[in-house]
Amino acid sequence: MVQVDLLLKEIAGLSAQGLTGTVVALSFSKRLVQPIRDRLHPGFEYCGRQDPTRGQNRKVLREEAANQVARMM
C-alpha cells in the first residue's frame, strides 16, 4: 500500500499540472507505442523514432494522432 499511496500522490501532482488521460493517449498515438506491452524500458524513457518500443519508424502528424485519440475517447 505504501507504493500505491506514493503513486496516487504522483498522479495527483501531475494532474494538477494539467496531465490528463487524453494527453497520455495522444503521446502514445504520436509515438506509435502501444501502452500495454512488454517493454525494454519504461515509457517515460522513450528516446525517439529509433526507440525499440516504437511500433513503426514513421513520422505521425499531430492531426492524425489527434483523430485517433478522438476515436478512442
25-68 per-position pLDDT tens digit: 998 888 887 777 777 888 778 888 888 878 788 888 989 999 99
pLDDT in tens, 6-22: 999 999 999 999 999 99
Q: Residue 57: which domain range?
A: 21-72
- Evaluate whether residue 48 is within a structural domain: yes
The confidence score (pLDDT) of residue 49 equals 81
Domain count for the chain, please give it: 1
Domain-embedded: residue 41: yes
Within-domain flag for 9 = no
Task: Give the pLDDT score at 64.
Answer: 92
* pTM for this prediction: 0.62
| Residue 58, in any domain of the structure | yes
| Domain-located, residue 39 | yes
* Cell representation of residue 38: 512488454
Q: Give domain status of residue 33, yes or no.
A: yes
